[in-house]
């Protein structure tokens, strides 16, 4: 059930395609045609002289040429013939590499087209040293598979195995992954298997790849459990193998897995997990699977050995939503489910805030409790990402919604947590350019439909119903999304960078902040404006405290001797107001600020390397 062509050393290529709806299939290869031999279960095969770069397509029952469902390259767009790729000749130079484990991961999400002005893989390479110096360990790249048009978020892909040509094609992607590894950065690719885009999807002509009449929010559903679904599942798992093996990615982020409709005894996610585990053994390097799911289902990250789905981690939106409501005060749409700082505390401790709770927004009970055996690093959290920014009407970043002092508080609430933090591109220096939804569908009717549909998406948000929504098809909508890297060199940009850098270093080096066990979180105070949380690891301890009020507030510290390690009111971070102070067991926090304190080291702690760093300057 292996989809796609294979080049051979003798100058020929073997072509295979699953097309059970066709009585006959003809291979079109650089203008010549070859009859394909039918095989069992709807497969067709042919061999012909061909090398890398050769164009090919399939004619189904004499119809027009169609691109390969498993095409590795679409040089002329998703409607045109496919091209052969020699994956063994991709320009990799790094032979062996090591990346941080998930327990120590700091992820940076980016969109290739908007990350730099040129919007290419090669241009992105020029910014990797910046990320490594900041403290990032993994670069997560939004989808780069083949989609219609020139620019797009990437979730409208129809050529799952191909690499978007304007970004730099297969060779450019290989250079980017290789450059990540040369700097010790892991590379994670965002992949979409829950639906296909609205233009260039020819799968239905080949066979029952899709469920007729069944649609998700974004498009037709994949046939994962119906008749003839085995080859469809093989298309998915084969795609997983391609990215991890041929393009040397260290992990995949699986988009919206709750939209994978599958009633099989072995869910497609479990099959992906099993396939990845086997590949991990074969390649002798760790591989990471991160699922996006809104179900808050613990089974997603429970190992296969314990009858779970076997994902190593999942995106967890609860912490984002809690922090967002705390600093912005928004309670519209799905934010009605969240209660600011008290929910921040619950998200730190429980992982899933909706763990069997009634959701006013969904009008039903959501989630199940996350066992303490599932440590915090299995939850990828953020204060911004492409969804939470881009799904606003105008794509406003947090920097456009709240003043800098509250952004600094949000950063502390993220990085002091036991979860795996993820940065959204540009937030490390306080990017202000928006990231609105954008497309470039060449078909005029489709473009108009996308533009109209975008304006209808905000009915659940009363405050957004009359908001101005940029036209996704307008080229200016895309150009406005590009990062303004000149801001990095400004005093404000450098101050914001200093805060992220210091927090990431402190998080990595202090034992209590490096610990990922949620059960070691103690909530000492949590109300509408004040939060004080303690984390412990052995005899090491750390306290994170925040004050959202407009005046200073005093709170009682837990027992121990504490040293201030970080205050968001430090002028080094761009602040110019009152600072926090400690008198005895009382902590006074300035208005709209957050602090981190650590306990004085005990002998067992001071025998660790942390005491050799600038972070640990407490008395012994």
pLDDT of residue 156: 93
Taking residue 279's Cβ as centre, other Cβ atoms within 10 Å add up to 16
- In this structure, are residues 455 and 466 in contact, taking their beta carbons and an 8 Å threshold? no
pTM for the complete prediction?
A: 0.96
- In this structure, are residues 463 and 503 in contact, taking their beta carbons and an 8 Å threshold? no
Taking residue 464's Cβ as centre, other Cβ atoms within 10 Å add up to 17
Please state the φ and ψ torsions of residue 238, each to the nearest 5 degrees.
Answer: -65, -35
The vertex-107 CA angle with 104 and 111, nearest 5°, equals 165
Q: Exposed/middle/buried for 461, CB within 10 Å: 0-12, 13-18, 19+?
A: middle
Reported residue count of the chain is 620
pLDDT of residue 617: 40
Closest CA to 559 of 520, 596, 511, 522: 522
CATH number of 6-89: 2.60.40.10
Name the residue ranges covered by the structural domains of the chain.
6-89
For residues 446 and 441, what is the distance between their CA atoms, to the nearest angstrom?
Answer: 7
Taking residue 65's Cβ as centre, other Cβ atoms within 10 Å add up to 18
| Pairing, β 43-49 against β 37-38 | antiparallel
- In this structure, are residues 48 and 12 in contact, taking their beta carbons and an 8 Å threshold? yes
pLDDT of residue 448: 87
| DSSP codes of every residue in 197-227 | -SSS--HHHHSS-EEEEEE-SSSEEE-SSST
pLDDT of residue 601: 56
Distance (Å) of CA 292 to CA 149, 259, 268, 348, 598: 26, 10, 14, 19, 33
Instruction: Give catalytic residues, as residue numbers.
Output: 255, 292
Q: Which residues of the chain have pLDDT under 70?
A: 215-216, 600-620
Coil, strand or helix at 543: strand
Distance (Å) of CA 39 to CA 17, 25, 44, 45: 10, 11, 5, 7
| Pairing, β 540-547 against β 530-537 | antiparallel
- Report how far Cα 389 is from the mean position of its chain's Cα atoms: 13
pLDDT of residue 590: 98
What is the tens place of the pLDDT at every residue in 397-412?
999 999 999 999 999 9
| Pairing, β 37-38 against β 562-567 | unpaired
The vertex-108 CA angle with 105 and 110, nearest 5°, equals 155
pLDDT of residue 600: 63
| DSSP codes of every residue in 119-172 | -SHHHHHTTHHHHHHHT--EEEEPP-EEESSS---STTEEEEEEE-GGGTHHHH
The token pair that represents 606 in the structure block: 């001071």
């Amino acid at each position: 059930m292996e989809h796609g062509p294979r080049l051979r050393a003798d100058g020929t290529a073997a072509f295979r395609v699953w097309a059970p709806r066709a009585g006959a299939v003809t291979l079109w290869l650089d203008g010549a045609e070859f009859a394909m031999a039918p095989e069992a279960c709807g497969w067709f095969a042919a061999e012909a002289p061909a090398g890398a770069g050769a164009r090919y397509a399939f004619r189904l029952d004499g119809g027009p040429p169609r691109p390969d469902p498993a095409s590795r390259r679409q040089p002329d767009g998703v409607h045109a013939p496919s091209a052969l790729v020699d994956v063994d000749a991709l320009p990799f130079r790094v032979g062996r590499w090591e990346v941080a484990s998930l327990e120590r991961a700091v992820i940076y999400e980016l969109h290739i087209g908007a990350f730099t002005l040129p919007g290419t893989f090669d241009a992105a390479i020029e910014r990797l040293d910046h990320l490594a110096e900041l403290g990032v360990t993994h670069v997560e790249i939004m989808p780069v598979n083949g989609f219609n048009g020139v620019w797009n978020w990437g979730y409208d892909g129809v050529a799952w195995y191909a690499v978007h040509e304007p970004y730099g094609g297969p060779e450019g992607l290989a250079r980017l992954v290789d450059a990540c590894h040369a700097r010790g950065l892991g590379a994670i690719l965002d992949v979409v298997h829950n639906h296909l885009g609205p233009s260039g999807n020819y799968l239905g002509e080949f066979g029952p790849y899709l469920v007729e009449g069944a649609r998700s929010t974004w498009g037709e559903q994949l046939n994962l459990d119906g008749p003839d679904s085995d080859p469809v599942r093989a298309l998915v798992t084969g795609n997983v193998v391609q990215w991890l093996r041929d393009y040397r990615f260290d992990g995949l982020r699986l988009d919206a897995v709750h939209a994978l409709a599958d009633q099989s005894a072995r869910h497609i996610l479990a099959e992906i997990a099993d396939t990845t585990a086997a590949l991990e053994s074969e390649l002798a390097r760790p591989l990471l699977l991160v699922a996006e799911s809104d179900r808050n289902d613990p089974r997603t990250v429970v190992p296969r050995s314990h009858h779970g789905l076997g994902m190593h981690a999942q995106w967890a939106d609860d912490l984002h939503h809690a922090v967002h409501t705390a600093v912005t005060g928004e309670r519209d749409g799905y934010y009605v489910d969240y209660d600011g700082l008290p929910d921040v505390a619950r998200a730190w401790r429980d992982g899933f805030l909706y763990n069997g709770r009634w959701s006013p927004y969904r009008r039903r009970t959501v989630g199940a409790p996350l066992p303490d055996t599932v440590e915090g690093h299995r939850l990828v959290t953020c204060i911004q990402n492409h969804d939470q920014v881009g799904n606003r009407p105008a794509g406003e970043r947090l920097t456009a919604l709240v003043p800098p002092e509250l952004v600094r508080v949000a950063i502390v609430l993220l990085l002091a947590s036991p979860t795996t933090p993820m940065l959204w591109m540009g937030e490390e220096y306080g990017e202000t350019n928006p990231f609105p939804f954008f497309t470039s569908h060449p078909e005029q009717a489709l473009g108009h439909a996308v533009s109209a549909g975008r304006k209808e998406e905000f009915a659940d948000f009363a405050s957004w119903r009359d908001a101005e929504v940029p036209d996704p098809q307008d080229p200016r909508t895309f150009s406005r999304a590009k990062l303004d890297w000149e801001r990095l060199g400004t005093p404000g940009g450098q101050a914001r960078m200093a805060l992220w850098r210091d927090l990431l270093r402190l998080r990595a080096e202090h034992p209590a902040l490096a610990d990922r066990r949620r059960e070691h979180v103690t909530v000492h105070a949590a109300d509408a404006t004040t939060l004080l949380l303690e984390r412990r690891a052995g005899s090491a301890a750390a306290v994170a405290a925040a004050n959202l009020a407009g005046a200073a507030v005093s709170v009682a510290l837990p027992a121990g001797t504490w040293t201030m390690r970080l205050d968001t009111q430090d002028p080094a971070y761009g602040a110019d107001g009152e600072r926090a102070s400690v008198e005895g067991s009382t902590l006074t926090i300035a208005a709209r600020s957050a602090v981190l304190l650590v306990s004085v080291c005990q002998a067992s702690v001071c025998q660790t390397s942390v005491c050799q760093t600038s972070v640990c300057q407490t008395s012994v």
